[in-house]
Structure formats: C-alpha cells, structure tokens
Amino acid sequence: MDTSTLRFARRELILGGQKSGKSSRAERQAMTWLAADAGHRAVLIATGQANDPQMSERIARHRRERMLRAPALVTVEEPLELGPAIVRHSTPKTLVLIDCLTLWLTNRLMPSEAMPVVESANDPAHEAAFFLALGSAPGPVVIVSNEIGLGVIPLGQEVRDFVDALGVLNQRTAAACDRVTLMVSGMAMTLKEGNVCGVS
C-alpha cells in the first residue's frame, strides 16, 4: 500500500480476521503520521498479556518486528484501563494506536490463570471510560479489533457470550468512528468514511 495516499480519520476502526493485515495497516498509519511532521508522536497501546509461552513468544516477536519497521512508535502496555490510557497519551500531535479491542475484552471477560483476577474487570465503567476518552481525544485514534462472528456458531456458552460481546463492542466502536476499514487477505475495504483529512 502506498502510505503517502493515506488520509487520517479522527477515529478509525480497523477490523479483520487473524493475519488479515489489520495490525500492519494500523502500523503503516502510525508510520505515515510520524513521517509527516518532526513534532508528531505515535503511541501503541498494547492490550495483550503474556499468559502462556506461545503468547510470550508472539508478543516478543511483534516487539522485535515493530522495532525494525517503526522504531519511533512508542509502546505501552495496558490490559484493562484503556480509557485512562487514551487520556494520558493523546495530544493534538500524537496518534494513538490501540491493538487490540479483542484482547482487551478477553482480559476483562476471561482472565487467564496467569493474570491476577480483578473484581472490577468486567465493570461496564471500563467501556464507558473508553468511549468517553475516544470521543474527547484531541489527536487521531486508530483501533484494531477482530471480526470473529463470520464463522460457525461456537459450542459452549462462554465462547458464544464472548463472540456476542465482541460483536456489540465492535458495533459501538464503529458507530463512534469516522472511518471503518475491513481487512481481508491484506486488502482494505472501506465500510464507512466520514470526517477525514490529510496529514497535519
């Protein structure tokens, strides 16, 4: 993709399946933002947790690859308090990239044995704070999330409830965003296009 042609929405949701190219597109947005102005910053809020050896290696690999592709992209880890993290890091000259909503919801609804149980993790106030921060962020926000509702209805109530909850969260986030992009096999399809502008 020619990153020079990217135009920024104040809020963008990038959806897709696993290995669809959604995170790569979001990172390219961040790199274009950084390259446009020496005063620009970009912060990645990572919600993933290293709860098992495979996930630990996956996170470590992503960190190594990001350092090569976008060394100026600052990474902070925040598994639960996403709203306050946006408030802390968003400025008019800072692009905030959230990767991803799916893992954030997982941390809240299905904490692993390796992650301390937080009684308030599933408190609706977490989402209220997220949407309030999203709406008031002074700089652009790019959000990555998985589209997992296109396959066979899963067996087991816990998984069905999670698929439903993510679908509702994605709908609410899409409604709050100016642009919604669906990634399929590395190709971007624009589902919604609202208030966009050139890099500034």
**Active-site positions?**
62
Distances (CA, A) of 150 to 78, 130, 191: 28, 26, 16
- Other Cβ atoms less than 10 A from the Cβ of 102: the count is 21
46: phi then psi, degrees, rounded to nearest 5: -95, 130
Greatest Cα pair distance in the chain: 51
Report how far residue 34's alpha carbon sits from residue 104's, in angstroms, rounded to the nearest whole number.
26
CA pair distance 62, 137, nearest whole angstrom = 26
46, 49, 52, 58: CA torsion to nearest 10: 0
Non-local CB neighbours of 85 within 8 Å, separated by 6+ positions: 45, 76, 78
